[in-house]
């Protein structure tokens, strides 16, 4: 199991009600259906020459667009010869996020792929950082998590290094608490 040894919780990593009030529509957001360009860009982030990523664990919210994106990624990854070690889902609200966090990390994949609504992922990411060896810099996500408000919602440095794809085939990355984006490559359809 990848739970940090000796970890002592001083305070809950759950996002409090006061934290949630500042984020309005981000908390109720259901991801838009993924696009082909987005899926291609996401796979591209994981197949950069020089990187040896063969195994992934896929996590997703339980909403229909996130589930469909996770399935599409799994199909595309396996068609390239990659291995999906685990597919883990989670609700938008939970009393504890430890079970999905452990399930997502226990197979020790080369990378993680996430298709999720922002609030549930922010909650899960906090638990992943507090309780496991999860590394956001080894994680790629679909467009819904590229929102500039998500790093602040997840908390101080929780998502630093997280990368993802945009619906038009561009990419984004979290640097500390800011999200920066790049347009699609010129040769991307």
Alpha carbon distance 8, 62 (integer Å): 30
pLDDT class of 9 with cuts at 50, 70, 90: very low
- Residue 8 predicted with pLDDT over 50: no
- Please compute the mean of the pLDDT values over residues 71-87 and round it to a whole number: 98
Render pLDDT for 100-143 as a digit per residue (tens, 0 to 9): 999 999 999 999 999 999 988 999 999 999 999 999 999 999 99
Looking at per-residue pLDDT, the higher value among 25 and 10 belongs to: 25
What integer pLDDT is reported at residue 2 of this predicted model?
46
Alpha carbon distance 84, 15 (integer Å): 30
Give the predicted TM-score (pTM) of the model.
Answer: 0.86
The torsion of the CA quartet 116, 119, 124, 129, rounded to 10 degrees, works out to 110
What integer pLDDT is reported at residue 27 of this predicted model?
64
- Residue 22 predicted with pLDDT over 80: no
pLDDT class of 7 with cuts at 50, 70, 90: very low
Quick one: which of 42, 20, 28, 26 has its CA closest to 143? 42
In percent, how much of the chain has pLDDT > 70? 83
CATH 3.10.450.710 fits 36-182, yes or no: no
- Please compute the mean of the pLDDT values over residues 54-68 and round it to a whole number: 97
Residue owning tokens 């990411």: 125
The token pair that represents 159 in the structure block: 């998502």
Any idea where the domains of the chain sit in the sequence?
Answer: 36-182
pLDDT class of 14 with cuts at 50, 70, 90: low
């Amino acid at each position: 199991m990848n739970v940090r040894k000796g970890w002592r919780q001083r305070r809950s990593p759950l996002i409090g009600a006061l934290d949630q009030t500042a984020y309005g529509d981000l908390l109720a957001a259901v991801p838009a259906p993924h696009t082909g360009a987005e899926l291609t860009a996401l796979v591209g982030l994981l197949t950069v020459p020089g990187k040896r990523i063969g195994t992934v664990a896929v996590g997703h919210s339980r909403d229909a667009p996130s589930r469909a994106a996770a399935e599409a990624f799994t199909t595309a990854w396996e068609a390239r010869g990659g291995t999906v070690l685990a597919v883990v889902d989670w609700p938008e609200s939970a009393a504890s996020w430890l079970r999905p966090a452990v399930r997502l990390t226990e197979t020790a994949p080369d990378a993680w792929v996430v298709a999720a609504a922002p609030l549930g992922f922010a909650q899960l990411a906090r638990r992943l950082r507090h309780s496991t060896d999860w590394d956001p810099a080894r994680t790629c996500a679909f467009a819904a998590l590229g929102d500039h408000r998500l790093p602040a919602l997840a908390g101080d440095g929780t998502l630093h290094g997280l990368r993802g794809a945009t619906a038009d085939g561009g990419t984004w990355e979290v640097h500390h608490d800011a999200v920066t984006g790049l347009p699609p490559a010129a040769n991307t359809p």
